[in-house]
Amino acid sequence: MERKLRTHEPRCYHLSVRLNCCKSVYNSEIELMNPLDRLPPSLKTSVALLTGGGDKPYAFGMARALTSNDVILDFIGSDELDCPDLPRSAKLKFLNFRGDQSEQAPFIVKARRIIAYYLRLMWYAGRSHTKVLHILWNNRFLFFDRTLLMLYYKAVGKRIAFTAHNVNAERRDGKDSLVNRIGLGIQYRLADHIFVHTEKMKQELIGEFGIRDEAVSVIPFGINNVAPHTNLTSQQARKRLCIRNDEKVILFFGRIGPYKGLDLLWDAFERISSRNDSYTLLLVGKPKSGAERYIEEILRSIRQSPVAGRVIERIEFIPDEETEIYFKACDVVALPYTEAFQSGVLFLAYSFGVPVIAADVGSFAEDVVIGRTGLVCEPCDAGRLAAAIECYFASEMYRYLEERRETIRSYVQSKNSWNIVAEMTRRVYLKLEGQIQA
C-alpha cells in the first residue's frame, strides 16, 4: 500500500551556509584544477612504497599513478594486496613481506608472522639500493614504527617520505597520550618530507610539532579507482535494496566510529521523519575496533523507534564490487563527523556523482562547493543537520540530481586526479634524491 507523504517546509535559516533553497544555486561550470607541468621522463626515480596494511584503494591508486609517471616502484604489502586489482607493470615489483593477515589465526601464528615481517622489512631496507622509502601507513606497533624503526631507516641511509593521513588519529579517537605524542613527534622530525591532504593539517604539523614549512607538501586525496563503476542505474540499485524511486535516500557509509557522528545523524533522521515519511536512511559499514558498544546503542535506539522501518542496515564490511549499489541508490551522502581533517568517503561519493552534506570540521568546507557538490552545516548539532538535510531535498541540487552527476564526477576527476597526486609526489622524490633543487 502506498504511503501518504507528509510535507514540511525546510528550516533553511538554521544553516551556517549562505544558500537559498528556493532559487537556482547551481552553475554547471565548476572551476577545475589546472594540471601541473610535467617533469621530463628522463628523470628516473626508484622508490619503495610501504603500505602498512592501510587503505587498499588508496595504495593501489598511488602505485598505479606513480608507475604511470616514470617512477620505478618496490610495492611492499600483504596477501590482501596480491590480488587482481594490483597494478601490473614492468615498473612495479610487488614484495609480499606481510603475507597472510587473517585475524582468525592463533596468537602464536600472529606473533611469528609479525616478527618475520619486521625482519624482512629491515633486511630489505639495509640491502636495497633504493634511496627513498615512502611510508603510506605505519604497521601495528606504532611506537616502534615511529621511533626505533625510523632510526634504523635513517641509519642505513634512507630518505624518508611519510604520508600523514591524520596528524594525530589517536586524539581524534579519544585515545591520545603523552607516549603517543612523543612517538608522533619523533616520526615527524625524522621524516625528510611529509605529505598531508589539507592546508589545516600542514599548519597543525608546523604549529604543534615544529615541522619546517618546506618539509610539508599538501597533495589532493586521490579518488577511489578500485570500486567498480558499471552500467548499473540508480533505479536498478534501488530495486536491489527494495527502495522505491520516490523515496529520499540518505547514505552513511564507511567504517563506523564515535567521531563520525552516526548518533547525530540518527537524531536528525528521527526529526525529519516525524515531519515527512518519504525519507530512507542507509547505514552501511563495519564498526571500527573499539566502537562495537557505540554502534550497538545506536542500533538499539533505531529498533525501538517508530521510524525503524525507514532504516536499512548493513553493519559489516562491504566488498569493493558492492560499493556502487549503495552510492547509486542514494540521493545524498551524510558526513556528520565531529572531528576529522578529510574523508575518503567524500571523494568516493563525488566519484559516483553524489552530493554530500558535511559537518564543518577539518577541511570539509574546502572540499564542498556549496550549492554545487553539497552543503556544509555546523558540527555536533542534530537540529542543524536535520535542517541541512531538508534544505538539500528542497534545492535544485536534488531536483536536477541526474543532470548534475556527471559535472560532480568531472570536478573530482580533475581536482583529485591521481596523475596530479603522482606528479607532485614524484617531484618530492626527485628532490630527496638530489636530482632537482629543493
DSSP state string for 123-163 = HHHHH----EEEESS--S-HHHIIIIIHHHHHHTT-EEEEE
12-31+228-415 has CATH 3.40.50.2000 classification: yes
**Mean pLDDT, the chain cut into blocks of 10 residues (438 residues total):** 38 44 38 51 85 83 91 90 80 89 81 91 95 93 95 97 92 87 96 94 94 95 81 95 96 94 98 96 92 94 96 93 96 95 90 96 89 95 97 96 92 88 94 85
Per-residue cell: 244: 522505491
Q: Quick one: pLDDT at residue 9? A: 40
Q: Quick one: pLDDT at residue 366? A: 86
Q: Quick one: pLDDT at residue 222? A: 87
Hey, what amino acid is at 64?
Answer: R
Residue range 45-222+417-433, CATH number: 3.40.50.2000
Residues of the chain with CATH 3.40.50.2000: 12-31+228-415, 45-222+417-433
DSSP for residue 104 = T
Question: How far apart are the C-alpha atoms of 310 and 249, rounded to whole Å?
Answer: 10
Question: How far apart are the C-alpha atoms of 423 and 429, rounded to whole Å?
Answer: 10
Cβ contact 320:226 at 8 Å: yes
E strand map for 22-113:
45-50, 71-77, 92-96
Output phi, psi for 414, to 5 deg: -85, -50
User: Which residue do the cell numbers 558526513 mark?
Assistant: 335
**What are 357-390's pLDDT values in tens digits?**
999 998 898 899 999 999 999 999 999 999 999 9
Q: Quick one: pLDDT at residue 13? A: 38
